[in-house]
């Protein structure tokens, strides 16, 4: 099991917030969190420059996706070097909303992770099962196939910069958080898979975040679950007080 250490709480704003609202939202969060808290915000691409110009040591920029190639004729796409140039440190990959909107996305995730790690950035890799799989009791098998497909061993540079987010699809944006036992079981499974495939030493360093309807009421409980090293927060991250309370809950436990 990963020993307790600084938690990682990432705000995934998805396609929300206008650029001109972004700065005040982040500053509002800053006012309400403990001084040592690391605030990681993944806004839409259009907001990154503005947030980067804040030059605040507690604020870290994340992006919600990237292309696997650095440059080229890929209209509308955005690459790791571009994001890095804007000060981005974390890139979310394989989010279920991205996977569902494009079935080919599944085949690109490994290369996207490679590109992010190659650039020296942190890859926040998302996995998680849909409701029918959870109800059939085959969720661990499903997660295993995702991990095997997306994280083939010996393919990544700087693997220590990998972060895994377990996000059961049925819990995302539904208000239905996974039960503590469900989170415990899956996080332990992911940790064991990492340990078996990448070695215990590395498994001990890779944070495993939980995502799916995390809010200020359930954050403290989730933060106590073994092998939970932080959270990926969608809806609740759009409310500064709510997000600040989630951050504070995790920092209190860790």
| 103 alpha-carbon distance from chain centroid | 20
Among 47, 67, 68, 95, which one carries the catalytic annotation?
Answer: 95
Taking Cα atoms as reference points, which of 152, 161, 151, 95 lies closest to residue 128? Answer: 95
164 binding ligand PGA? (CB under 6 A): no
Is 222 strand, coil or helix?
A: helix
* Interface stretch with ligand PGA, choices 20-28, 68-76, 145-153, 234-242 (CB under 6 A): 234-242
* Interface stretch with ligand PGA, choices 15-23, 26-34, 131-139, 232-240 (CB under 6 A): 232-240
Name the H helices within 131-239: 131-136, 139-150, 180-198, 200-203, 219-223
Residue holding tokens 């309400």? 32
Q: What residues have CB less than 8 Å from 239, skipping those under 6 apart?
A: none
Pick the binder of ligand PGA from 120, 173, 199, 226 (CB under 6 A).
Answer: 173
Q: Could you give the CA distance from residue 12 to residue 19 in angstroms, rounded to a whole number?
A: 15
Residue 224 is among the residues annotated as catalytic for this protein: no
Q: Could you give the CA distance from residue 16 to residue 14 in angstroms, rounded to a whole number?
A: 6
218 binding ligand PGA? (CB under 6 A): no
Nearer to ligand PGA, 182 or 198 (CB): 182
167 binding ligand PGA? (CB under 6 A): yes
Pick the binder of ligand PGA from 11, 29, 40, 172 (CB under 6 A).
Answer: 172
CB of 213 to ligand PGA, least distance (A): 4
Q: Are 207 and 8 in contact (CB under 8 A)?
A: yes
Pick the binder of ligand PGA from 40, 235, 245, 247 (CB under 6 A).
Answer: 235
Alpha carbon of 14 to those of 36, 189, 200, 211: distances in Å? 26, 28, 33, 13
12 binding ligand PGA? (CB under 6 A): yes
Neighbours of 15 (CB within 10 A): 8
Residue 95 is among the residues annotated as catalytic for this protein: yes
CB of 242 to ligand PGA, least distance (A): 10
Q: Which residue is nearest to ligand PGA (CB)?
A: 234
232 binding ligand PGA? (CB under 6 A): yes
- Tallying the residues shown for the chain, one arrives at 254
Q: Are 244 and 18 in contact (CB under 8 A)?
A: no
212 binding ligand PGA? (CB under 6 A): yes
Q: Are 121 and 90 in contact (CB under 8 A)?
A: yes
CB of 1 to ligand PGA, least distance (A): 24
Residue holding tokens 């915000």? 41
190 binding ligand PGA? (CB under 6 A): no
Q: Which residues are catalytic?
A: 95, 167
Query: Binding residues for ligand PGA, per CB under 6 A?
Result: 12, 167, 172-173, 211-214, 232-236
């Amino acid at each position: 099991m990963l020993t307790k250490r600084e938690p990682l709480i990432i705000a995934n704003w998805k396609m929300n917030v206008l650029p001109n609202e972004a700065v005040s939202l982040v500053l509002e969060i800053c006012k309400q969190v403990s001084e040592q808290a690391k605030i990681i915000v993944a806004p839409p691409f259009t907001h990154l420059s503005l947030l980067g110009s804040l030059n605040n040591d507690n604020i870290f920029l994340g992006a919600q996706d990237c292309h696997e190639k650095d440059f080229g004729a890929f209209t509308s796409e955005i690459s790791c070097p571009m994001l890095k140039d804007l000060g981005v440190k974390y890139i979310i990959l394989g989010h279920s909303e991205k996977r569902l909107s494009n079935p080919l996305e599944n085949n690109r995730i490994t290369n996207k992770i490679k590109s992010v790690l190659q650039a020296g950035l942190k890859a926040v890799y998302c996995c998680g099962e849909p409701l029918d799989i959870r109800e059939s009791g085959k969720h661990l098998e499903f997660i295993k196939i995702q991990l095997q497909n997306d994280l083939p061993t010996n393919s990544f540079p700087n693997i220590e910069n990998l972060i895994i987010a377990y996000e059961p699809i049925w819990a995302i944006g539904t208000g239905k958080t996974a039960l503590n036992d469900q989170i415990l079981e899956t996080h332990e499974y992911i940790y064991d898979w990492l340990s078996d495939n990448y070695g215990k030493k590395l498994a001990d360093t890779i944070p495993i975040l939980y995502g799916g309807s995390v809010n200020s009421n359930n954050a403290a409980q989730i933060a106590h679950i073994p092998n939970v090293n932080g959270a990926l927060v969608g809806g609740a991250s759009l409310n500064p007080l709510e997000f600040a309370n989630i951050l504070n809950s995790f920092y209190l436990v860790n």
